[in-house]
Structure 1
Amino acid sequence: MGKGEELLEAIKCQDISVVQKILHKGKGKILGSSKKVNVNFQNEEGLSPLHQASLHANVDIVCLLIDANATLDLQDANGMRALHYSSLKGKVEVVAALLESGSKASTPAKNGVTPLHLAAQYGQCSVCAMLMQYGGDPTVRRHDGATPIDLACEFGRYEVVEIFLTNSSCISLIESYAVQHFETELSNSNSPLHVAARNGHIKVI
Structure 2
Amino acid sequence: MTSSTFTFAFTSAALRSLRLDEERLHRWKLAQRVGPSCRPGPSALCPRVWGSPHRRMEPLACHDFLVQNALFAGDLEMVRQHFTESAAVNLVIEAKGDELRWTSRKLGLWSLTYEQELTTPLHITAGRGYADCLRFLLLRGAAVDFAPSGKTALHEACAAAHTSCVRLLLSFGADPQAVSEDGFQPLHLCKSPGSLECARLLLQSSASVNVATEDEEDSPLHVAARHGLPEHVGLLLRYGAAVDAENEEGQTPLHAACSQPHEPEDIERYFEVCQQLVEHGARVDVPDRDLQRPLHLACKVANARVVELLLGHGASVNIMNYSGNTAMHNVLQVAAYKLLHQPERMVRALLNHGAVRVWPGSLTKVLRYCHAAPRVIEALINSYDRVRVPDEWAKAVPPETLQKHQGFYQSLFTLGQQPRSLQHLARYALRTHLEGRVLLAAPRLGLPPALLRFLLLDFEDVLY
TM-score, normalization by structure 2: 0.36
Is the counterpart of residue 19 in structure 1 residue 199 in structure 2? yes
- 2:352 aligned residue (140, 154, 166): 166
CA deviation vs aligned residue, 1:155-196 (integer Å, no higher than 9, x gap): 22222101111112x1xx22xx64xxx6x6x5xxxxxx4652
C-alpha displacement at 1:95, in angstroms?
0.6
CA deviation vs aligned residue, 1:50-73 (integer Å, no higher than 9, x gap): 011011111111011001111111
Q: Is the contact made by 1:84 and 1:114 (CA closer than 8 Å) also made in structure 2?
A: yes
- 1:64 aligned residue (213, 227, 235): 235
Instruction: Judging by fraction of residues, say which structure has more strand.
Output: 2
| Within-5 A mapping of 1:72-83 | 72-83=243-254
Q: Is the contact made by 1:39 and 1:68 (CA closer than 8 Å) also made in structure 2?
A: yes
Unaligned runs of 5+ in 2: 1-151, 153-174, 178-184, 261-266, 336-342, 378-464
TM-score, normalization by structure 1: 0.79
Describe the SS at the equivalent of 1:62: helix
CA deviation vs aligned residue, 1:101-152 (integer Å, no higher than 9, x gap): 0000111111011111111112111110000111112211000100001111
* CA RMSD, Structure 1 to Structure 2 (Å): 2.0
| Within-5 A mapping of 1:144-163 | 144-156=323-335, 157-163=343-349
Is the counterpart of residue 38 in structure 1 residue 217 in structure 2? no
Unaligned runs of 5+ in 1: 25-29, 31-35, 187-192
Q: Is the contact made by 1:99 and 1:105 (CA closer than 8 Å) also made in structure 2?
A: yes
Q: Is the contact made by 1:138 and 1:147 (CA closer than 8 Å) also made in structure 2?
A: yes
- 1:119 aligned residue (298, 315, 320): 298
Q: Is the contact made by 2:193 and 2:229 (CA closer than 8 Å) also made in structure 1?
A: no
Q: Is the contact made by 1:11 and 1:19 (CA closer than 8 Å) also made in structure 2?
A: no
Is the counterpart of residue 9 in structure 1 residue 189 in structure 2? yes
The amino acid across from 2:347 in the alignment is V
User: Of the two structures, which has the highest relative contact order with CA contacts closer than 8 Å and spacing of 6 or more?
Assistant: 1
1:33 aligned residue: none
- Identical aligned residues as a percent: 23
Is the counterpart of residue 95 in structure 1 residue 268 in structure 2? no
Question: Which 4+ residue blocks in structure 1 deviate beyond 4 angstroms?
Answer: none
- 2:310 aligned residue (131, 139, 153): 131
1:190 aligned residue: none
The amino acid across from 1:58 in the alignment is L
